[in-house]
Structure 1
Amino acid sequence: MEINDYINIGINLLLMMITLGAVIYAKKSLLANDAPRILVTNYQEKISRNDDDHFEARVRVKNFGNGVAVKTFLLFITDDRGVKHYFLSKPIVSLESKCEAEAEIILSKDDISHEMINSISDKKKPAGAFLISQDFFNNLYYSFISLAQDDSHLKDFSVPIRQVSKFHPIYRFIRGFIKKANKQKNTYTHRIGRKNSKMLKELEQMMGGNTNI
């Protein structure tokens, strides 16, 4: 090969690198302009440790970005004797720019054990809460929510929600958490189904009792 051939190959490789860089930059610019920016504005918990174990978690979020958050979940993780349990809230659907919404997880004694409630306040237990969101490009966003019942939020910066592409390892972890919540029947629809089944069973028992009178 002559010198001119090497020069042409070098020029072509350089042009390919420039084109690839331009494509990556354009994609990042598009994602930056059209991505949702979800921020947790309020988080509350209510725990009952009496005979009727009960737990409630509510998170209020606002979309400060330009893009629409297609679905946003509150994910809660508790521990029961070394076994992790994953709970999903009802999704916030199509959270538009500058809009606010609330997601909640309400667990009765049929959903959560006394040990799981204790793990929430035990720092040694792997309990935690996450905000998970999805955009139109199927990228995921997540943010850890501190369960500390103190004034730490007044002493340090808030943890911003982070974007996770489909090729990032954390993407698979998040998808795995959601699959585990479904497998354990701890999604919103599963909890509502159990509640409705229990109410229907109690109603049938009441009607049966009245019939025998």
Structure 2
Amino acid sequence: MKFNTIVVIQCRYSSSRLLGKAVYPLSGIPMLIFLIRRLKISLPENLFQIILATTNNSTDDIIYVWGKSENIPVVRGDEKDVLKRYIQTLKEYPAQTIVRVTADNPLTCPEIIKCLVKKQQEQNADYAFCENLPYGTASDIFSYNLLVSLDKEIVSAIEREHINLHVLNNIKKFKVTFTNATGKMARPDLNMTVDTISDWYRVKALFDQNEKEPWKITLSEAIKRMDKSSL
């Protein structure tokens, strides 16, 4: 079955700033599995296919196993050339719209994904993003044509690793659409990503150890809990 939209979770064990952060638990659940379940319950499976894109390194065998345990496809490819990994994913799972999600953002907001995909498709945009959300809750939306053209154009190692960088640095070259978070969601002062050990402690503190289905937390509830947290 060909999906119109694929959601690609990029993940590798060998993070330079926090080794193995994908396995760090939130409410007793590895962060990667937390994120997969969060996306699966909110994104209709007839419209969105969730795919895990990891590396060929043996250290990422556990990432592969966890993806398979959650019944999602897993694509393995180059560690540093993330763009190449996305192109490989597109060859195996063709789609017109690609959502980029990083595994260090367990509180990525599925509702924002749906909003951005709708906007990107309605406007036939190359790229879509949302501003003013808490750091670590947003995602990037790419068109198929944009990713293919970036793969042909980009030679810089840093831009091939961080695949949105070239677009953001050359935004006038592309048809870009964006939305601004408003109201209680407009909290760019909050950091919900997990990039360091202190980040993990801060996000971990939002959940009880035995909380039932913690991945169902809404972004507004996460904001409320973080405002009350002392970390």
The structure with higher relative contact order (CA 8 Å, sep 6+) is 2
Q: Which protein is richer in strand relative to its size? A: 1
TM-score by length of 1: 0.26
Structure with greater Cα Rg: 1
